[in-house]
Amino acid sequence: MTDLVTKHGHRGAWGSNLQFMLTCIGYAIGLGNIWRFPGLAYENGGGAFLVPYLICSFFFGLPMIYMELSLGQFSRSGPGVVFGRLMPASQGVGWGMITVITLIALYYNVIIAWVLIYLFIIVTGNSNFWSTCTNEWNTISCTSSLEDDRCSLKLLGTEGGAQFFNGSCIITNGTRLNVTEILKSLNATPSSPAEEFFEGYVLEMSNGITDFVGFNVRVTIALALAWSITALCLARGVKWIGRISLFTATFPYIIIVIMFIRSISLVGARSGIDYYLLKPDFTSIFNPQTWRNAATQVCYSMSVGLGAILSLSSYNSFSHNCFKDAVIISACDSFMSVFGGVVVFSVLGFLAESMDREITDVVQSGTGLAFVAYPEAMSRMPLPWLWSLLFFVMLFILGISSQFGLSEVMCTAICDICPRLRRYRHYVVFCVCGSLFAIGLIMCTHAGIYYFQLIDTYCASFSLMVIILGELLVVAYYYGVSNFIEDIRMMIGYPKNRFSAIFGPSGYYLRIIWLFFAPFLVSVILVFALKEQIEFKLTRGRGFRTYVYPEWASLIGWFLSCLSLMCIPVFLYYNYNKLRQTKRNWKELFRVQKKWPSYNRINSGKMGENKMSSLRRDEICPSDLKAEEAWQMPAEVFRHVEELNTDLSNSKF
At residue 611, the 3 state secondary structure works out as helix
Q: What CA–CA distance (Å, rounded) separates 52 from 283? A: 12
Q: Is 26 annotated as a binding residue?
A: yes
Closest CA to 76 of 475, 491, 420, 481: 491
H/E stretch holding 540 reads strand 539-540
How many Cβ atoms are within 10 Å of 261's Cβ, its own excluded?
A: 10
163, 344, 431 from 168: Cα distances, Å: 8, 33, 52
Burial (Cβ within 10 Å: 0-12, 13-18, ≥19) of residue 236:
middle
CA dihedral of 592, 594, 596, 600, whole degrees rounded to 10? 90
Tell me how far apart the alpha carbons of residues 642 and 165 are, in angstroms, rounded to a whole number.
83
Q: Give the dihedral sign, CA 349/353/359/362.
A: negative
DSSP code of residue 30: -
Secondary structure in 3-state letters for 518-532 = HHHHHHHHHHHHHHH
Backbone angles phi, psi at 555, to 5 degrees: -65, -40
Distance (Å, whole) CA 317 – CA 358 = 54
Q: Shortest CA distance to 140 belongs to which of 208, 196, 178?
A: 196
438 is in an annotated binding site: no
Q: What is the DSSP letter of 162?
A: E
Could you tell me if 493 and 636 are in contact, meaning their C-beta atoms sit under 8 angstroms apart?
yes
Asked if 109 contacts 226 with a C-beta cutoff of 8 angstroms, the reply is yes
Whether 398 has a binding-site annotation, put simply, is: yes
Rg, the chain, Cα only: 27
Q: What backbone torsions phi and psi does residue 632 show, to the nearest 5 degrees?
A: -85, 70
Number of other CB atoms surrounding residue 220 within 10 Å? 18
Query: Cβ neighbours of residue 493 under 8 Å, at least 6 residues apart?
Result: 634, 636, 637
The one-letter code for the residue type at 40 is L
Could you tell me what percentage of the chain is helix, strand and coil, using 3-state DSSP and rounding each to the nearest 5?
A: 70, 5, 25
Instruction: For residues 117 and 391, give the distance between their C-alpha atoms in angstroms, rounded to a whole number.
Output: 13
Check if the beta carbon of residue 110 is closer than 8 Å to that of residue 452: yes
301 is in an annotated binding site: yes
CB under 8 Å to 649, separation ≥6 — which residues?
605, 606
**Gap between the Cα atoms of 308 and 256, Å rounded:** 25
The helix/strand/coil state of 303 is coil
CA distance 256 to 279: 23
Among candidates 593, 538, 529, which has minimal Cα distance to 86?
593
The answer for 541, left when phi > 0, alpha when psi is -120 to 50, beta otherwise, is left
Could you list the residues known to form a binding site for Na(+), using ranges. 26, 28, 33, 301, 398, 402
Could you list the residues known to form a binding site, using ranges. 26, 28, 33, 301, 398, 402
